[in-house]
Structure 1
């Protein structure tokens, strides 16, 4: 058969939940098209058709939370060194699929191939950067505290739990990595709502995570209408924190109100330069501090730590 008569094999994009690749339980999909300008703004019905992405439902969101909660114990209990190895493995696997992501980012954000390549390289480097921080952040934000008494007073950071992450709408890959990596580097698990207009790089990232030694359920990726998926996640009693980066001002206010019902930690949206050095603030945003008191010297029969 000549190449000119060969049928194209289109990619089927699926959700990534609990280490598996389900379609939306609703059976719904929506069209994803290329960006129509360098700014990444696409008009409805304009641009070249790329794929039909799953349109996630509330049930998909609940399933993702169940998967994230199930994975939390094992992931948070892993050593920081091991988490760093896993994050570095993600970077390795992305490097091997670089050309695919360059193409997807170029289509998603309306970039030239060279600019998209720079974005993908920066995203790969960001995984490496956070991999290096997994066994260091504890020393930066924890330590021994001076107290007036015969006690050791030690503070150590612990992960918050299940974190809902609304990925940036415009930076479909570098911004996406910049909000996912710090959450899982510190031992949390994540339910990620991909960019509504440009979800394909996020869904492809799920395929990389599945082959990167990352336990199933640590990261779960949903695509669809941000407001529709985020509402049940913000109100979910088994979600411990929410990153509102990908929400507009009005939606963010609504979600913050819903999140208050079980005192979720909330990271409000703000202007971001995703190309800048990330710093440690996104890692500390979803850490709790545990402080332990312990008497100095030998313990008697009644001695204890508080």
Structure 2
């Protein structure tokens, strides 16, 4: 049956209501709250969950449960899993390009370029999983009949506040190095542009990444970040997505259990070579003495 132009114009759009991604599942916010996500022209795009403090605590529990399995996997296996995620991102480039264009007010060409750079960066970090230990680890010269070996180990559960303005390339740049080095993550999406992060959760759910390794929350950054900074079972927090005032408050809260804190930079060029700084940020060094000949 042919649909008339008048009927087509009268059709109401079906706006999507996203869900959180916690422990490999898609729960609604514990509070049942959602908020309207709009594009750069203030047009309604979708509904996103407004995560609560309880959601943040649930995400930490899921991330902690996943630490042993993910950190205990071989570095090569982690690299293969991350590369599989990149393959799936590649298959959904058009969707992410549309979401980035709407969120950041970019042209289609610039949004597509940003998404391509994000996928390339994910692949780049996937390649580092079995190489970073060779860069930061090694055998230390000591006096006596001993081997003295230093090896990097993951920090544990890391809370990541995603950049507010770079909704996908910046997001990948802060998240990928955390999990590439064997940590698990609680990701707080950009408050104004959460859709690329929530869509990334849908990709991760259908990839080989174990549930709980990445947990995605959306909502008010300050409301979600406060319980994460104070949580005794969070080992590190990346404050990239916080403004100066909020970052100061969160850093004070994080000091209670001596969390490792990455302070927000005054400016970030997400298109620049990332280097290894974010890879080594969430690693601890374990040194082992072993007698020679035993």
- Aligned position for 2:291: 295
Whether the aligned pair in 1 keeps the contact of 2:145 and 2:292 (CA below 8 Å) is yes
Report the equivalent of 2:85.
Answer: 90
Q: Which of 285, 295, 300 pairs up with 2:281?
A: 285
What are the superposed Cα offsets for residues 85-139 of structure 1, whole Å, 9 maximum, x if unpaired? 0111111001111110010000000000000000000000011000100000000
> Secondary structure of 2:143's partner?
coil
Query: Would you identify which runs of 4 or more consecutive aligned residues in structure 1 move more than 4 Å?
Result: none
Correspondence for 1:58 among 44, 49, 53: 53
Task: Identify the match of residue 263 of structure 1 among 258, 265, 275.
Answer: 258
Deviation at 1:175? Answer: 0.3
Structure 2: give runs of 5+ residues left out of the alignment.
Answer: none
| CA-CA distance at 1:12 after TM superposition | 2.2
For the residues of structure 2 that align with 1:187 and 1:86, how far apart are their CA atoms?
Answer: 12
Alignment of 1:8 onto 2:4: no
Work out the number of aligned pairs and report it.
Answer: 288
Provide the C-alpha distance between the structure 2 equivalents of 1:254 and 1:9, rounded to a whole number of angstroms. 40
1:174 corresponds in structure 2 to 169
Q: How does 1:17-32 map onto structure 2 within 5 Å?
A: 17-32=22-37
Q: Distance in 2 between matches of 1:84 and 1:8?
A: 40
- 1:11 positional shift: 2.1
- The DSSP-based 3-state class of the residue aligned with 2:185 is strand
Query: Whole-Å Cα distance in 2 between the matches of residues 141 and 86 of structure 1?
Result: 23
Q: C-alpha displacement at 1:6, in angstroms? A: 5.5
Q: What SS does the aligned partner of 1:261 have?
A: helix
Return the TM-score normalized by structure 1.
0.92
Aligned counterparts of 1:186 and 1:66: Cα–Cα separation in 2: 20
CA–CA separation in structure 2 for the residues paired with 1:7 and 1:246: 35
Shift of residue 212, structure 1, vs aligned partner: 1.3
The separation in 1 between residues aligned to 2:122 and 2:164, in whole angstroms, is: 20
For 2:196, which of 198, 201, 204 is the aligned residue? 201
Distance across 2 between alignment mates of 1:82 and 1:162: 20
In structure 1, how many angstroms separate the alpha carbons of the residues matched to 2:14 and 2:249? 42
For residues 1-306 of structure 1, what are the structure 2 equivalents within 5 Å? 2=3, 4=8, 8-36=13-41, 47-270=42-265, 271-298=267-294
Deviation (angstroms), 1:9: 3.3
User: Unaligned 5+ residue runs, structure 1?
Assistant: 37-46, 299-306
1:42 alignment counterpart: none
d(CA) in 1 for partners of 2:129, 2:20: 27
TM-score (norm 2): 0.96
Contact 2:15 2:47 in 1 (8 A): no
Cα RMSD, aligned residues only: 1.0
Q: Structure 1: how far apart are the matches of 2:50 and 2:92?
A: 25
CA distance in 2: counterparts of 1:229 and 1:7, whole angstroms: 33
- Cα deviation, residue 8, structure 1: 3.4
Q: SS of 1:53's equivalent? A: strand
Q: What secondary structure does 2:225 align onto?
A: helix
